[in-house]
Chains A and B, each alone.
Chain A
Amino acid sequence: MMLQSLALTLLCSAILVLQGCSAWQVNQAAASLAVAGPQATLDRLQPLVPANRDLAQYKLNTGVLKLYLGDWQGSRQDLAEAKSILQFAQAVSVTENLAALTANETLRTYNGTPTDQVLVHVMLALGYLLEGDLDGARVEMLQANVTMQQLAKEDSTAGQLASARFMAGLIYELNGEWDDALISYRRCYSILRDRSEPIPQALQTGLLNLTRRQGFQQEYQQFSQQFGREAHSPSADEGEWFLVYLDGVVSSKTETRISVFDAEVDTMVSVVMPHYRNSTYLPRELTLAGEVQRQRSGILENLEARAREDLEAERAKILAAATVRAVAKYKMVQEAQSKNDFSGILMNIATVVSEQADVRSWNMLPASIQVARITTSLKVPVNVLEKGQALPALAEFSRRGRAVVLASSLTDQVYVWPALPEPTESGETHAAQ
């Protein structure tokens, strides 16, 4: 009787989990984000009421959608909430572990991958910057540095993001903190080199300009030789444009189920693992064009790769937990069968249905973060070519002679820091609020 009740409880919980699983609905919305666009996806997410354990994933996604849409305050609010949950959830929960080992992994609070934990600071920094709060953006990059320090391991680059280092360098440069900017660009370079990934031209420019400016002649010569070009720091009547381009949508996890039927004891055993399908992402670039210089954006962070690396790093742990769970569930079914057949069948159904892979992820992120950087005359407008957007000359709106452009492949809008004086004639360029 007791076992029957337990089986029924497990079955009901499994059905409830399946029905009310906001994570599943979030994944469905993520799958159609590239076609539906961020506004329609946000409209689809907003009526959902996620369970507390899924709240971080939900807020990360709504936060990044709001960032694509230029809602800086909303984005900041959601991402800050998600960040605080991620930090809280780093402590191991006794009850959640127990639940995960007896039912499934989705009963744990979503605590984010190492990439999520760092990238949340990058996205927040972008929001602060585009809202005009450079110091706020700087705070986020300092926090990203602490998070990366906590995640650092000697034998792995997990949680070490080139995009976070580059953004920190950019923000330091905008603040005129050249030495800190150079340190961040160097770290960005080291991460890309360790991963054998190409060095985007924007980073090359940063390294060349700053090593020469700070007087590191030997290092400058090495970079100059490696990149095959010289530094070109802006002269008094020139300024710089930085482009941060968020391209595509990162893949969502799916699950692989292996079920084995043991005919001798009439028991079905299931092991379910999360996995990523092979990536079909084809990067698209964006071109920033001045009067003389033009540059296509280069990939700084391949988030498709990062997502897969993070899952791979967790695979052994997930498999171990799934195995322990399978053994525990098998024992429960055996126990139930020894009482009577009906209990055994009920328990077996419950254990199979309740076995679910944790396919939650920050799946509305871009597939890649790309950057470009050009020097132009202060009096010459620039174009974001593929978007057909013309931006006014720096002299018209930037006291510092620098501007940052944020664009996403999901919208036609382009956002600029510092705020543009007023929209261009086409009315399509939006100033940072």
Chain B
Amino acid sequence: MKHWILLSAALLLAACATSVERVAPDSTIDLSGAWNDTDSRLVAEEMIQDALSRPWIGEFAGRTGKRPVVIVGTVRNLSHEHINVKTFVADMERALINSGRVDFVASRDDRGEVRDERMDQDLNAREDTRNAAGQELGADFMMQGQINTIIDVEGKEQVRYYQVDLTLISMADNRKVWLGQKKIKKYVKNAKLRY
């Protein structure tokens, strides 16, 4: 009898212990129903595929004879969740640059640090290694976007609808040359009981 009690206690304690398991980065694990890495990845993949298959790149290259230069503007999170939009924007930037068909320049936030470094080089770096100011590459297009959500809730049930919209705007004439859109819909049932 005592053994059984001890065994049960041990099992109970084991159930309370923290467990960690390595999983593939692209595996889908939904815990709360909130926006997660899988959503971010799905959005990035869809947007990249779409952006690269549209005529704006070819038209620009044909007209100017060079690759389009893109800058990432603001991607606003207008959703019901605190979403880190930088993850899928970074995924997109990486895939677009790696495609060899687009150049990206540093965003407003990033380039401040680069300019500081350039100024520092002016003072402290050897002349033959300095990078001069005023030689930056101007962007041809700006990417802007937003994430919106609509949430319908009744008791413990929710329908969460996410819509991600990205737009590429021509810096020369404000033309919108590409509109990317990805929608995700989730039906979430929260537990009514817990242990």
Contacts and interface: CB of A to CB of B under 8 A. Distances in A.
B79 A150 contact: no
B-side interface mostly: loop
B161 to A, nearest CB: 13
Contact of B153 (A93, A138, A146): A146
B155 A150 contact: yes
B47 to A, nearest CB: 20
A135 B193 contact: no
B192 interface: yes
B33 to A, nearest CB: 11
Contacts, number: 40
A150 B190 CA distance: 13
A94 B79 CA distance: 34
A200 interface: no
Nearest to B151: A146
A142 interface: yes
B4 interface: no
Contact of B80 (A88, A92, A142): A142
Interface in B48-95: 76-82
Contact of B193 (A88, A91, A136, A142): A91
Contacts of B195: 93-95
B17 interface: no
> Number of contact residues on A: which range applies?
10 to 19
Interface residues of B, number: 18
A279 interface: no
Given A91-B193, A136-B82, A150 B153 contact: yes
B77 A139 contact: yes
Nearest to A140: B82
B155 A135 contact: no
Contacts of A149: 153
Given A91-B190, A93-B195, A135 B153 contact: no
Contacts of B80: 139, 142-143, 146
A136 B78 CA distance: 9
Contact of B194 (A93, A138, A150): A93
B168 to A, nearest CB: 21
A92 B192 contact: yes
A125 to B, nearest CB: 12
Interface in B150-178: 151, 153, 155-156
Nearest to B85: A135
Contacts of A138: 78
Contacts of A92: 192-194
Contacts of A143: 80-81
A91 B194 CA distance: 6
B190 A135 contact: no
Contacts of A139: 77, 79-82
Contacts of A90: 190
A121 to B, nearest CB: 11
B121 to A, nearest CB: 29
Interface string B176-195: 00000000000000111111
Nearest to A88: B194
Nearest to A144: B80
Contact of A135 (B77, B149, B191): B77
A135 B148 CA distance: 12
Contacts of B76: 135
A86 to B, nearest CB: 13
A142 B83 CA distance: 13
Nearest to B74: A135
Contacts of B79: 139, 142
Contacts of A142: 79-80, 149, 151
Interface string A74-107: 0000000000000010111111000000000000
B75 to A, nearest CB: 10
Nearest to A175: B78
Nearest to A97: B193
Nearest to B81: A139
A138 B82 CA distance: 10
Most chain B beta-carbon neighbours within 10 Å: one of A91, A93, A149: A91
A206 to B, nearest CB: 21
Contacts of B190: 90-91
A40 to B, nearest CB: 32
Contacts of B78: 135, 138
Contacts of B193: 91-94
Interface string A128-157: 000000011011001100100110000000
Nearest to B77: A135
B163 to A, nearest CB: 14
B32 to A, nearest CB: 9
Given A92-B193, A139-B82, A146-B80, 7 more contacts: A91-B156, A91-B191, A92-B192, A135-B77, A139-B77, A139-B79, A139-B80
Please provide the 6 A-B residue pairs with the shortest distance between their CB atoms, ordered closest to farther. A91-B194, A142-B80, A91-B191, A93-B194, A135-B77, A139-B82
16 contacts: A88-B194, A91-B190, A92-B193, A93-B195, A94-B193, A94-B195, A135-B76, A135-B78, A138-B78, A139-B77, A139-B81, A139-B82, A142-B80, A142-B151, A143-B81, A146-B153
Interface of B: 76-82, 149, 151, 153, 155-156, 190-195
Interface of A: 88, 90-95, 135-136, 138-139, 142-143, 146, 149-150
